[in-house]
Amino acid sequence: MRATASRIDLGQLFQSAEDALGVQAMARPDELHWAALVRLASALAHAAHDEAPALRAARWEISVWIQSYVAFERDRAQYPQIAEVPVERPLFLVGFGRTGSSLLHNLLALAPQARAPLLWEVWTPSPPPGADDGRARIEIARHRVEFLAKHAPVVSLAHPMAPDAPDECHWMMRHSPLWVMLYDVPDYWAWLKSLSNAELNQLYAHYRLQVQHLTLFKRGYWVSKAFSHLHFMPVLHDVFPDARIIRLHRDPTAAIPSLCSLAQSRRSIYLSRVDPRAIGAGMLDLFLDGMARSMALDRARPEAPVVDVHFSDLVADPIGTARRVLGVLGYPCDAGAERAMQAYLEKAAAAPAYQHRYSLEEFGLDRAEVLDRSAAYLAWAEARCGRSLVV
Protein backbone atom coordinates (compact mmCIF):
# COMPACT_ATOMS: atom_id res chain seq x y z
CA MET A 1 0.00 0.00 0.00
CA ARG A 2 1.36 3.42 -0.90
CA ALA A 3 1.69 6.11 1.70
CA THR A 4 -1.28 8.03 0.29
CA ALA A 5 -3.66 5.20 1.25
CA SER A 6 -3.06 5.87 4.94
CA ARG A 7 -4.32 9.43 4.47
CA ILE A 8 -7.91 8.18 4.15
CA ASP A 9 -8.94 7.53 7.75
CA LEU A 10 -12.11 5.46 7.51
CA GLY A 11 -12.82 5.60 11.22
CA GLN A 12 -12.63 9.38 11.23
CA LEU A 13 -14.88 9.63 8.17
CA PHE A 14 -17.48 7.38 9.81
CA GLN A 15 -17.37 9.52 12.95
CA SER A 16 -17.81 12.69 10.88
CA ALA A 17 -20.77 11.18 9.03
CA GLU A 18 -22.45 10.09 12.25
CA ASP A 19 -21.90 13.53 13.80
CA ALA A 20 -23.27 15.29 10.71
CA LEU A 21 -26.36 13.06 10.57
CA GLY A 22 -27.01 13.19 14.30
CA VAL A 23 -26.58 9.48 14.97
CA GLN A 24 -24.12 7.72 17.23
CA ALA A 25 -22.60 4.25 17.34
CA MET A 26 -24.26 3.34 14.05
CA ALA A 27 -23.46 -0.22 13.01
CA ARG A 28 -20.41 -0.44 10.80
CA PRO A 29 -20.58 -2.46 7.56
CA ASP A 30 -20.33 -6.22 7.81
CA GLU A 31 -16.98 -7.90 7.34
CA LEU A 32 -17.25 -8.23 3.55
CA HIS A 33 -18.36 -4.64 2.99
CA TRP A 34 -15.72 -3.33 5.39
CA ALA A 35 -12.89 -5.30 3.78
CA ALA A 36 -14.06 -4.06 0.40
CA LEU A 37 -14.19 -0.46 1.62
CA VAL A 38 -10.64 -0.69 2.96
CA ARG A 39 -9.50 -2.08 -0.39
CA LEU A 40 -11.39 0.60 -2.29
CA ALA A 41 -9.94 3.41 -0.17
CA SER A 42 -6.44 2.06 -0.77
CA ALA A 43 -7.06 1.71 -4.51
CA LEU A 44 -8.46 5.24 -4.84
CA ALA A 45 -5.57 6.73 -2.89
CA HIS A 46 -3.12 4.80 -5.07
CA ALA A 47 -4.87 6.05 -8.20
CA ALA A 48 -4.35 9.63 -6.99
CA HIS A 49 -0.62 9.39 -7.92
CA ASP A 50 0.23 11.69 -4.99
CA GLU A 51 -1.63 14.56 -6.68
CA ALA A 52 -3.40 16.67 -4.07
CA PRO A 53 -6.61 17.31 -6.08
CA ALA A 54 -6.95 13.61 -6.87
CA LEU A 55 -6.37 12.63 -3.25
CA ARG A 56 -9.03 15.12 -2.15
CA ALA A 57 -11.38 13.57 -4.71
CA ALA A 58 -10.59 10.09 -3.38
CA ARG A 59 -11.39 11.20 0.16
CA TRP A 60 -14.60 12.80 -1.07
CA GLU A 61 -15.70 9.62 -2.88
CA ILE A 62 -15.13 7.53 0.23
CA SER A 63 -16.83 10.09 2.46
CA VAL A 64 -19.89 10.07 0.17
CA TRP A 65 -19.92 6.25 0.37
CA ILE A 66 -19.80 6.40 4.17
CA GLN A 67 -22.39 9.19 4.50
CA SER A 68 -24.74 7.25 2.24
CA TYR A 69 -24.22 4.08 4.26
CA VAL A 70 -24.82 5.77 7.62
CA ALA A 71 -27.91 7.60 6.31
CA PHE A 72 -29.26 4.35 4.89
CA GLU A 73 -28.79 2.54 8.20
CA ARG A 74 -30.53 5.43 9.96
CA ASP A 75 -33.46 5.10 7.54
CA ARG A 76 -33.64 1.33 8.13
CA ALA A 77 -33.96 1.96 11.86
CA GLN A 78 -36.62 4.64 11.31
CA TYR A 79 -38.54 2.67 8.69
CA PRO A 80 -38.16 -1.03 9.58
CA GLN A 81 -40.85 -1.84 7.00
CA ILE A 82 -38.26 -1.24 4.26
CA ALA A 83 -37.27 -4.90 4.42
CA GLU A 84 -40.88 -5.93 3.73
CA VAL A 85 -41.39 -3.84 0.57
CA PRO A 86 -42.16 -6.24 -2.29
CA VAL A 87 -39.87 -6.20 -5.33
CA GLU A 88 -42.02 -7.93 -7.92
CA ARG A 89 -40.98 -8.61 -11.52
CA PRO A 90 -38.15 -6.05 -11.59
CA LEU A 91 -36.85 -5.23 -15.06
CA PHE A 92 -33.09 -4.99 -15.57
CA LEU A 93 -31.42 -3.49 -18.64
CA VAL A 94 -27.95 -4.95 -18.87
CA GLY A 95 -25.18 -4.52 -21.39
CA PHE A 96 -21.79 -2.93 -21.66
CA GLY A 97 -21.59 0.86 -21.60
CA ARG A 98 -22.56 2.74 -24.75
CA THR A 99 -25.04 0.14 -26.02
CA GLY A 100 -28.12 2.39 -26.10
CA SER A 101 -29.26 1.52 -22.59
CA SER A 102 -29.91 5.16 -21.59
CA LEU A 103 -32.24 5.64 -24.55
CA LEU A 104 -34.21 2.48 -23.85
CA HIS A 105 -34.25 3.11 -20.10
CA ASN A 106 -35.79 6.55 -20.57
CA LEU A 107 -38.47 5.09 -22.83
CA LEU A 108 -39.30 2.15 -20.55
CA ALA A 109 -39.55 4.52 -17.59
CA LEU A 110 -42.63 6.02 -19.29
CA ALA A 111 -44.55 2.73 -19.31
CA PRO A 112 -47.52 2.34 -16.94
CA GLN A 113 -46.58 1.35 -13.38
CA ALA A 114 -42.83 1.63 -14.08
CA ARG A 115 -40.59 2.86 -11.25
CA ALA A 116 -37.26 3.98 -12.63
CA PRO A 117 -34.81 5.60 -10.19
CA LEU A 118 -34.04 9.25 -10.90
CA LEU A 119 -30.55 10.71 -10.80
CA TRP A 120 -31.10 12.73 -7.61
CA GLU A 121 -32.51 9.61 -5.93
CA VAL A 122 -29.51 7.40 -6.65
CA TRP A 123 -27.02 10.13 -5.74
CA THR A 124 -28.72 11.09 -2.44
CA PRO A 125 -31.29 8.39 -1.63
CA SER A 126 -31.88 9.23 2.03
CA PRO A 127 -34.50 9.77 3.32
CA PRO A 128 -36.63 7.48 1.13
CA PRO A 129 -38.06 9.47 -1.80
CA GLY A 130 -41.54 10.54 -0.85
CA ALA A 131 -40.61 11.17 2.77
CA ASP A 132 -39.92 14.76 1.71
CA ASP A 133 -40.23 16.74 -1.53
CA GLY A 134 -36.60 16.12 -2.46
CA ARG A 135 -35.99 19.75 -3.43
CA ALA A 136 -32.72 20.11 -1.53
CA ARG A 137 -31.37 16.91 -3.02
CA ILE A 138 -32.47 17.86 -6.51
CA GLU A 139 -30.50 21.07 -6.08
CA ILE A 140 -27.44 19.13 -4.96
CA ALA A 141 -27.74 16.94 -8.04
CA ARG A 142 -28.11 20.00 -10.26
CA HIS A 143 -24.81 21.39 -8.96
CA ARG A 144 -23.06 18.05 -9.57
CA VAL A 145 -24.40 17.90 -13.12
CA GLU A 146 -23.17 21.46 -13.74
CA PHE A 147 -19.76 20.54 -12.32
CA LEU A 148 -19.47 17.58 -14.69
CA ALA A 149 -20.57 19.70 -17.64
CA LYS A 150 -17.78 22.16 -16.87
CA HIS A 151 -14.97 19.77 -15.98
CA ALA A 152 -15.85 16.59 -17.94
CA PRO A 153 -17.71 17.91 -21.00
CA VAL A 154 -17.35 14.70 -22.99
CA VAL A 155 -19.26 12.83 -20.29
CA SER A 156 -22.05 15.40 -20.16
CA LEU A 157 -22.42 15.64 -23.93
CA ALA A 158 -22.18 11.94 -24.73
CA HIS A 159 -24.24 10.86 -21.72
CA PRO A 160 -26.64 13.71 -20.86
CA MET A 161 -27.73 13.79 -17.24
CA ALA A 162 -30.54 15.65 -15.50
CA PRO A 163 -31.42 15.58 -11.79
CA ASP A 164 -35.03 14.51 -12.41
CA ALA A 165 -34.37 12.02 -15.21
CA PRO A 166 -33.87 8.24 -14.91
CA ASP A 167 -30.28 7.19 -14.47
CA GLU A 168 -28.02 4.27 -13.66
CA CYS A 169 -28.60 2.57 -10.35
CA HIS A 170 -25.01 1.45 -9.88
CA TRP A 171 -24.48 4.84 -8.23
CA MET A 172 -26.38 3.38 -5.25
CA MET A 173 -24.50 0.05 -5.16
CA ARG A 174 -21.90 -0.19 -2.42
CA HIS A 175 -19.42 -2.09 -4.61
CA SER A 176 -19.53 -2.53 -8.36
CA PRO A 177 -17.50 -2.21 -11.59
CA LEU A 178 -18.55 1.45 -11.77
CA TRP A 179 -15.44 2.24 -9.71
CA VAL A 180 -13.33 0.49 -12.36
CA MET A 181 -14.65 2.83 -15.04
CA LEU A 182 -14.30 5.99 -12.96
CA TYR A 183 -10.80 5.30 -11.60
CA ASP A 184 -7.67 3.30 -12.37
CA VAL A 185 -8.12 0.74 -9.59
CA PRO A 186 -6.75 -2.61 -10.88
CA ASP A 187 -6.29 -4.10 -7.39
CA TYR A 188 -9.92 -3.40 -6.52
CA TRP A 189 -11.05 -4.86 -9.86
CA ALA A 190 -8.99 -8.00 -9.27
CA TRP A 191 -10.69 -8.40 -5.88
CA LEU A 192 -14.16 -7.81 -7.36
CA LYS A 193 -13.56 -10.47 -10.02
CA SER A 194 -12.39 -12.95 -7.41
CA LEU A 195 -15.61 -12.90 -5.38
CA SER A 196 -17.47 -16.15 -4.93
CA ASN A 197 -21.18 -16.43 -5.72
CA ALA A 198 -21.89 -16.34 -1.99
CA GLU A 199 -20.02 -13.05 -1.67
CA LEU A 200 -21.68 -11.62 -4.78
CA ASN A 201 -25.02 -12.62 -3.29
CA GLN A 202 -24.19 -10.80 -0.06
CA LEU A 203 -23.35 -7.57 -1.91
CA TYR A 204 -26.33 -7.82 -4.24
CA ALA A 205 -28.74 -8.58 -1.40
CA HIS A 206 -27.73 -5.23 0.06
CA TYR A 207 -28.57 -3.63 -3.29
CA ARG A 208 -32.03 -5.22 -3.07
CA LEU A 209 -32.52 -3.53 0.30
CA GLN A 210 -31.67 -0.24 -1.36
CA VAL A 211 -34.27 -0.90 -4.06
CA GLN A 212 -36.82 -1.51 -1.30
CA HIS A 213 -35.67 1.72 0.35
CA LEU A 214 -36.27 3.76 -2.83
CA THR A 215 -39.67 2.17 -3.45
CA LEU A 216 -40.99 2.45 0.11
CA PHE A 217 -43.18 5.46 -0.73
CA LYS A 218 -42.95 5.39 -4.55
CA ARG A 219 -44.12 1.98 -5.72
CA GLY A 220 -44.09 0.37 -9.14
CA TYR A 221 -42.10 -2.36 -10.84
CA TRP A 222 -38.41 -1.53 -10.67
CA VAL A 223 -36.86 -0.53 -14.02
CA SER A 224 -33.11 -0.42 -13.67
CA LYS A 225 -30.17 -0.12 -16.01
CA ALA A 226 -26.46 -0.34 -15.31
CA PHE A 227 -23.57 -2.29 -16.76
CA SER A 228 -22.74 -3.25 -13.17
CA HIS A 229 -25.61 -5.75 -13.20
CA LEU A 230 -23.50 -7.86 -15.56
CA HIS A 231 -21.09 -8.54 -12.74
CA PHE A 232 -23.88 -9.84 -10.52
CA MET A 233 -25.50 -11.94 -13.23
CA PRO A 234 -24.48 -15.22 -11.54
CA VAL A 235 -26.71 -14.36 -8.55
CA LEU A 236 -29.26 -11.97 -10.04
CA HIS A 237 -32.11 -14.47 -9.96
CA ASP A 238 -31.13 -15.69 -6.51
CA VAL A 239 -31.68 -12.17 -5.18
CA PHE A 240 -34.54 -11.24 -7.54
CA PRO A 241 -36.23 -14.58 -8.38
CA ASP A 242 -38.83 -13.19 -10.80
CA ALA A 243 -36.56 -10.64 -12.52
CA ARG A 244 -36.87 -9.94 -16.25
CA ILE A 245 -33.77 -9.01 -18.24
CA ILE A 246 -33.15 -7.00 -21.39
CA ARG A 247 -29.64 -7.51 -22.78
CA LEU A 248 -28.31 -4.88 -25.14
CA HIS A 249 -25.61 -5.67 -27.71
CA ARG A 250 -23.33 -3.51 -29.83
CA ASP A 251 -20.16 -4.01 -31.86
CA PRO A 252 -17.40 -4.03 -29.20
CA THR A 253 -15.04 -2.13 -31.51
CA ALA A 254 -17.46 0.80 -31.14
CA ALA A 255 -18.76 0.32 -27.59
CA ILE A 256 -15.39 -0.19 -25.90
CA PRO A 257 -13.57 2.94 -27.16
CA SER A 258 -16.71 4.99 -26.56
CA LEU A 259 -16.69 4.04 -22.88
CA CYS A 260 -12.91 4.58 -22.82
CA SER A 261 -13.50 8.15 -23.98
CA LEU A 262 -15.94 8.79 -21.15
CA ALA A 263 -13.58 7.21 -18.61
CA GLN A 264 -10.72 9.41 -19.83
CA SER A 265 -12.83 12.56 -19.52
CA ARG A 266 -14.03 11.62 -16.03
CA ARG A 267 -10.56 10.71 -14.73
CA SER A 268 -9.06 13.90 -16.13
CA ILE A 269 -11.11 16.06 -13.76
CA TYR A 270 -8.59 15.63 -10.96
CA LEU A 271 -5.55 13.94 -12.51
CA SER A 272 -2.92 15.75 -14.55
CA ARG A 273 -1.74 12.41 -15.98
CA VAL A 274 -4.19 9.88 -17.38
CA ASP A 275 -2.87 6.80 -19.16
CA PRO A 276 -5.12 6.05 -22.15
CA ARG A 277 -3.53 2.64 -22.67
CA ALA A 278 -4.40 1.63 -19.11
CA ILE A 279 -7.95 2.76 -19.75
CA GLY A 280 -8.11 0.71 -22.94
CA ALA A 281 -6.80 -2.44 -21.28
CA GLY A 282 -9.12 -1.97 -18.32
CA MET A 283 -12.27 -1.39 -20.38
CA LEU A 284 -11.52 -4.37 -22.64
CA ASP A 285 -11.14 -6.60 -19.59
CA LEU A 286 -14.34 -5.14 -18.10
CA PHE A 287 -16.15 -5.94 -21.35
CA LEU A 288 -14.87 -9.50 -21.62
CA ASP A 289 -15.68 -10.29 -17.99
CA GLY A 290 -19.19 -8.88 -18.30
CA MET A 291 -19.92 -10.75 -21.51
CA ALA A 292 -18.70 -14.03 -20.02
CA ARG A 293 -21.07 -13.59 -17.09
CA SER A 294 -23.93 -12.69 -19.43
CA MET A 295 -23.38 -15.76 -21.60
CA ALA A 296 -23.17 -17.98 -18.53
CA LEU A 297 -26.74 -17.01 -17.59
CA ASP A 298 -28.12 -18.97 -20.55
CA ARG A 299 -26.35 -22.10 -19.36
CA ALA A 300 -27.23 -21.68 -15.69
CA ARG A 301 -30.84 -20.51 -16.15
CA PRO A 302 -32.11 -21.29 -19.65
CA GLU A 303 -35.66 -20.66 -18.45
CA ALA A 304 -34.93 -17.05 -17.37
CA PRO A 305 -37.11 -14.44 -19.12
CA VAL A 306 -34.58 -12.57 -21.28
CA VAL A 307 -34.88 -10.44 -24.42
CA ASP A 308 -31.81 -9.55 -26.49
CA VAL A 309 -31.69 -6.22 -28.36
CA HIS A 310 -29.35 -5.33 -31.21
CA PHE A 311 -28.08 -1.75 -31.00
CA SER A 312 -28.99 -1.03 -34.63
CA ASP A 313 -32.58 -2.20 -34.10
CA LEU A 314 -32.96 0.08 -31.10
CA VAL A 315 -31.59 3.10 -32.96
CA ALA A 316 -33.75 2.41 -36.02
CA ASP A 317 -37.02 1.98 -34.08
CA PRO A 318 -36.80 3.00 -30.42
CA ILE A 319 -40.53 2.93 -29.67
CA GLY A 320 -41.08 -0.30 -31.56
CA THR A 321 -38.22 -1.87 -29.59
CA ALA A 322 -39.66 -0.63 -26.29
CA ARG A 323 -43.10 -1.94 -27.22
CA ARG A 324 -41.66 -5.32 -28.22
CA VAL A 325 -39.60 -5.95 -25.09
CA LEU A 326 -42.40 -4.87 -22.77
CA GLY A 327 -44.83 -7.15 -24.55
CA VAL A 328 -42.52 -10.16 -24.57
CA LEU A 329 -41.72 -9.75 -20.88
CA GLY A 330 -45.32 -9.15 -19.84
CA TYR A 331 -45.43 -5.45 -18.96
CA PRO A 332 -48.15 -3.02 -20.11
CA CYS A 333 -47.52 -0.36 -22.77
CA ASP A 334 -50.54 1.73 -23.68
CA ALA A 335 -51.14 4.49 -26.20
CA GLY A 336 -50.46 7.16 -23.58
CA ALA A 337 -47.04 5.70 -22.87
CA GLU A 338 -46.20 5.60 -26.57
CA ARG A 339 -47.21 9.25 -26.95
CA ALA A 340 -44.94 10.12 -24.02
CA MET A 341 -42.12 8.15 -25.67
CA GLN A 342 -42.62 10.04 -28.91
CA ALA A 343 -42.52 13.35 -27.05
CA TYR A 344 -39.29 12.28 -25.35
CA LEU A 345 -37.69 11.40 -28.69
CA GLU A 346 -38.77 14.69 -30.26
CA LYS A 347 -37.31 16.66 -27.36
CA ALA A 348 -34.06 14.70 -27.57
CA ALA A 349 -33.86 15.27 -31.33
CA ALA A 350 -34.28 19.03 -30.81
CA ALA A 351 -31.25 19.20 -28.51
CA PRO A 352 -27.94 20.37 -30.02
CA ALA A 353 -26.22 17.50 -31.80
CA TYR A 354 -22.92 16.18 -30.43
CA GLN A 355 -20.51 14.07 -32.43
CA HIS A 356 -18.73 11.80 -29.98
CA ARG A 357 -15.35 11.02 -31.53
CA TYR A 358 -13.07 8.21 -30.37
CA SER A 359 -10.96 5.38 -31.73
CA LEU A 360 -9.56 2.10 -30.51
CA GLU A 361 -6.01 3.14 -31.37
CA GLU A 362 -5.91 6.15 -29.04
CA PHE A 363 -6.45 3.73 -26.14
CA GLY A 364 -3.82 1.25 -27.28
CA LEU A 365 -6.35 -1.21 -28.69
CA ASP A 366 -6.33 -3.03 -32.01
CA ARG A 367 -9.50 -3.92 -33.91
CA ALA A 368 -8.28 -7.39 -34.83
CA GLU A 369 -7.36 -8.16 -31.21
CA VAL A 370 -10.70 -6.92 -29.86
CA LEU A 371 -12.63 -9.01 -32.39
CA ASP A 372 -10.48 -12.06 -31.73
CA ARG A 373 -10.85 -11.88 -27.95
CA SER A 374 -14.58 -11.23 -28.36
CA ALA A 375 -15.13 -14.07 -30.84
CA ALA A 376 -17.11 -16.33 -28.49
CA TYR A 377 -19.36 -13.46 -27.43
CA LEU A 378 -19.88 -12.25 -31.00
CA ALA A 379 -20.97 -15.70 -32.17
CA TRP A 380 -23.32 -16.05 -29.20
CA ALA A 381 -24.80 -12.56 -29.64
CA GLU A 382 -25.33 -13.15 -33.36
CA ALA A 383 -27.33 -16.27 -32.53
CA ARG A 384 -29.37 -14.33 -29.94
CA CYS A 385 -29.98 -11.26 -32.10
CA GLY A 386 -30.30 -12.95 -35.49
CA ARG A 387 -27.47 -11.07 -37.15
CA SER A 388 -23.90 -9.95 -36.62
CA LEU A 389 -22.99 -7.09 -34.30
CA VAL A 390 -19.85 -6.19 -36.23
CA VAL A 391 -20.18 -3.17 -38.47
Write out the DSSP string of 61-101: HHHHHHHHHHHHHHHHHH-GGGGG----S-EEEE-STTSSH
**Could you tell me if 112 and 56 lie in one domain?**
no
Together in a domain, 244 and 357: yes
In a domain, 391, yes or no: no
Number of domains in the chain: 2
- Do 104 and 8 reside in the same domain of the chain? no
Taking 60 as the threshold, does the pLDDT of residue 2 lie above it?
no
Residues 19 and 101 in one domain: no
Does residue 209 sit in the same domain as residue 282? yes
26-36 pLDDT, tens digit per residue, is 667 899 999 99
Is 61 inside a domain boundary?
A: yes
pLDDT band at 1 (very low <50, low <70, confident <90, very high): very low
Query: For residue 143, is pLDDT > 90?
Result: yes
- Please tell me whether residues 207 and 332 are part of one structural domain: yes
| Domain residue limits at 30 | 1-78
**Residue 348 belongs to some domain of the structure:** yes
47 and 106 assigned to the same domain: no
Residue 5 confidence (pLDDT): 41
Q: What is residue 352's predicted lDDT score, i.e. its pLDDT?
A: 83
User: pTM for the complete prediction?
Assistant: 0.94
Q: What is the mean pLDDT of residues 123-134?
A: 95
- Say yes or no to pLDDT of 131 above 50: yes
- What is the mean predicted confidence (pLDDT) over 48-63? 90
CA-to-CA dists, residue 67 to 60, 125, 143, 183, 333, angstroms? 10, 11, 18, 20, 38
338 belongs to a structural domain: yes
Written as one letter, the residue type at 326 is L
Domain identity same for 18 and 103: no
Which of 23, 6, 5, 2 is CA-nearest to residue 14? 23
Q: Which CATH number do you get for residue 273?
A: 3.40.50.300
- The mean of the pLDDT values for the chain is 94
Both 232 and 341 in one domain: the answer is yes
The 3-class secondary structure across 213-267, one letter per residue, is: HHCCCCCCEEEEECHHHHHHHHHHHHHCCCCEEEEEECCHHHHHHHHHHHHHHHH
Q: Establish if 195 belongs to a structural domain.
A: yes
Q: Which of 48, 78, 108 is the last residue of a domain?
A: 78
Q: Are residues 67 and 215 in the same domain?
A: no
State whether 66 and 193 are in the same domain.
no
**Same domain? 94 vs 72:** no
Residue 236 maps to a domain: yes
144, containing H or E segment: helix 135-151
Cα(126)–Cα(78) distance, rounded to whole angstroms? 11
pLDDT digits (tens, 9 = 90+) for 261-320: 999 999 999 999 999 999 999 999 999 999 999 999 999 999 999 999 999 999 999 999
Query: In the chain, pLDDT over 70 holds for what percent of residues?
Result: 98
Q: How far is CA 356 from CA 147, 255, 260, 359, 368, in A?
A: 20, 12, 12, 10, 22
Q: Is residue 252 part of a domain?
A: yes
pLDDT in tens, 213-249: 999 999 999 999 999 999 999 999 999 999 999 999 9
Domain-terminating residue out of 50, 78, 106: 78
Q: Among residues 28, 54, 78, which one ends one of the domains?
A: 78
- 364 touches 283 (CB < 8 A): no
- Single-letter residue type at 125: P
Angle between helix 335-350 and helix 318-329 axes, rounded to 10 deg:
150
In this prediction, residues 323-346 reach a mean pLDDT of 98
In a 3-state reduction of DSSP, which class is residue 27?
coil
138 within a domain of the structure (yes/no): no
